[in-house]
Chains A and B, each alone.
Chain A
Amino acid sequence: MAPALTTGGSARGAVEDGAPAAAVRIDHVHKSFGRPGDRRSVPVLDDITLDVRPGEFVCLLGASGCGKSTLLNLVAGLDRPTAGTIEVPGGRPALMFQEHALFPWLTAGRNVELALRLRGLPREARRAEAERLLDLVRLGGAHRKRVHELSGGMRQRVALARALAQNSRVLLMDEPFAALDAITRDVLHHELTRIWSETSLSVLFVTHNVREAVRLGQRVVLLSSRPGRVAREWTVGLPQPRRIEDAAVADLSVEITEELRGEIRRHGRH
């Protein structure tokens, strides 16, 4: 089955003047593991073309084996594509993982300060900026807390503050809330959309949770599995802030879930 793109490559809503039209440009990217030409090499991503416009919130959705995390690693520059190009004009993107990946030998505040330090911020400015970022994720009092003293939701908020500390134009998120309970996740969805709307951040958010994708994204891109291809995409026209239990969110989720199930079923027929 050929990949069906419902919306074309035209950059709707993007700035038309000299500013870059894309915050992330993924152009005909292929990725396989193993040596090129080797018959055992496994294709993971097949001809992915996807743009994230400046300030846009895009959710990448797919079943396991669709290579969503691989794609994110490529965009983050942690790995190279086998073919095709990836451009991130705004410089190195920030990356948030499913595990908080905070450094346990540092306090919450120092974790944020380390990102600021690696960005080259002078010492005097770091402390105040870290305070500001922790305030932004509503953890103003947690500067001196150790990572193990924080709950799962608090750790992900510190991780978000640390990612924001990189001052990147693009934030990549790899199922960052998958390990949290429903209420905590709901709160973090709200915080993320709030922070996103207050900044000019572009977000590429990977998830396998359809409702989460519809709750958060302006656009939802469905990847097929083995190899990962862009199967279909939806523009979510609902205004923010949405709630995960909104009827409109539920309706679109049903439609997307049906499509995702179809993608998964295809693999059963081989």
Chain B
Amino acid sequence: MKTHAAGLKKIALVGNPNSGKTSLFNALTHLRQKVGNYPGVTVDIKKGTAQIGTQRIEVIDLPGTYSIYPKSDDERIVSEVLLDPSHPSHPDAVIVVIDATNLKRNLLFCSQIIDIGLPVLAVLTMGDMLEKRGIRIDPAKLSDQLGIPVLLVNARRQKGIDKLKHYLKEGFDKPKKEIYSDIPLPPALLEAGRKLYPDAGNYFIWLEILRAQQSRKSRDSRIKALKQLLREEEVNIPGIQGKETLERYKKIEEIIMDSVDDSLRKSVQISDRLDDVFTHRVWGPLILLAILFLVFQAVFFLAEFPMRWVEDGTAWVSTVFSSYLPAGWFKNLLVEGVIAGLGGIVVFIPQIAILFGFLSILEDTGYMARISYITDRIMRGVGLSGKSVIPMISGMACAIPAIMATRSIENWRNRLVTILITPFMTCSARLPVYALLISIGVPSKTLLGFINLQGLVLLSMYLLGIGMSMAIAYVLRFLIPADGKSLFVMEMPLYRAPRWRNVFITMYERSKVFVTEAGKVILVISIVLWFLASFGPADLGMSREETNTEQMTQAQYKSYRLEHSFAGYLGKAIEPAIRPIGFDWRMGIAVITSFAAREVFAGTMATIYSVEGEGDEFHSVREAMLHDVDDRGRKVYSLATVLSLLVFYAFAMQCMSTLAVVRRETKSWKWPAIQFAYMTVIAYSASFIVYQLFR
């Protein structure tokens, strides 16, 4: 009885974490992938299309999980999709991906999936590791025992993929038997469940009862009926689940007794020896530091070349458009708004691609788990786990890929806290601002004969960022408390060579998600900022003020335009508010325009001070700012003001792209709004204290 004689339309991939699910998904769909949108789910769920002959099958890659019982909202999607036939992603059939080297534990989840009653096929991965370990598995016997087709597949070498595709094309049956159905439910409840679901097995009914118990409101009439029944019947859910797990493991022992021969089992010596070094008390942390340094350097410096190409390319495109388009607001919109905005999005791609290339290698080789293992103790002091280390280190290059990297943190609470604190890390966009300000406000003195004072201040800025992120993480322990139920048990996979296909697909996919999803927001904000800085009340006929601008040089005219733009008036309007932190209206304008990106600060200053010439802009801006005096003849950029500005740029959320990415990763505007608000408050307060102390 083929359930889908005409073949399948939709299949779901499920399996334990680290089971090779992603590799199989990539092998089936190649680059025909996109990210699906699921309400309440914060991880990305990928959908792809498998092309088999002329047939197209939709493949959905569900989050990796150890059992059907969800431990988080993200995992809940697995049972939702599989149980609810009205769910848009409800599949015709399920592929369970099983790490053959961890058969027993993987079969626990597989046996639960079998008992749901959908057509199931099991794919055994890591077959190449079996031989090395002296384990033999008989797929035919296993298939017989489980009552479902079992295939050995090596996605890396494309072995078994054709056979799998053949099965997908032909379709496959529902499981021939139930593995565990003797659920100790109150008879009345079970009886009622059978009436509601006449075609389903006991396990399906049990899972529906659980769904009813957990759902707050459901439109499904059967779930409602079960909910009603649950009010009358007492059900010991953890007791039933515990008993089920033990019973399943017993059955699994029997099943693998016949189909697995591990009498010649060997230990995995190479991997163990590697761990002796990589997690060694002395060598472990040292190697970790070296690897983190390498990744950081790569994102920081390697990305610089392609980023410069993007900047040059943007400039070239702007020039081309400028010379062919007639002057006017449309040309300005296109060149200074749209093209500059697009360039500002594309410029992040090198950093994102390089970081995710490295992360994918670290993940694939198994080293990522060791990073968490080594650093867990340190991060626990502030209520996080070792998984937050990589995003935070990446944040020292750029917060955007760093925040995208938080998705490897399974625990939502810890992921959110990491997202909230990562922008405090000193990113590369702060460097030009710091360099300019330090050169203005901090004397180039040498302390103790070898310490450069300016260098010392720059180092302090890095430490300030790390310190603040840790402090906020500590405070968030009380504001966003841990649920107390989460377990920080983590698998330490065997060391393996990276799969380059996965690496490249990750690089491509991450960059694409950034451009298509965060990119939209960035483009809109950059056009708004361009408008604010380019137009003023006079342009819209709101002001009758006439100034003779003909005598001005081009630089003076630009400065005049900025001063009389909306951004200029805004800068002046907020002056009373920023006086207490030592800022004047010029700095107010720079704060507004550099919301696009911190490094815009220097460019805005150059415009405000009518700096002439393109060549040595840094030097001329520095001179202009250095010699600027207020109406009482005091230096505008006093030590107090410079320190206040430094602290402000260290703590303020002056980066629209980061906010766009936070919205993308948390799937709501709530968290970027909170983040913007609290970082601004901290920045303002800190600047206030610093300015008042040093003035």
Is A bound to B? no
Interface residues, chain B, CB within 8 Å of chain A?
Answer: none
Interface residues, chain A, CB within 8 Å of chain B?
Answer: none
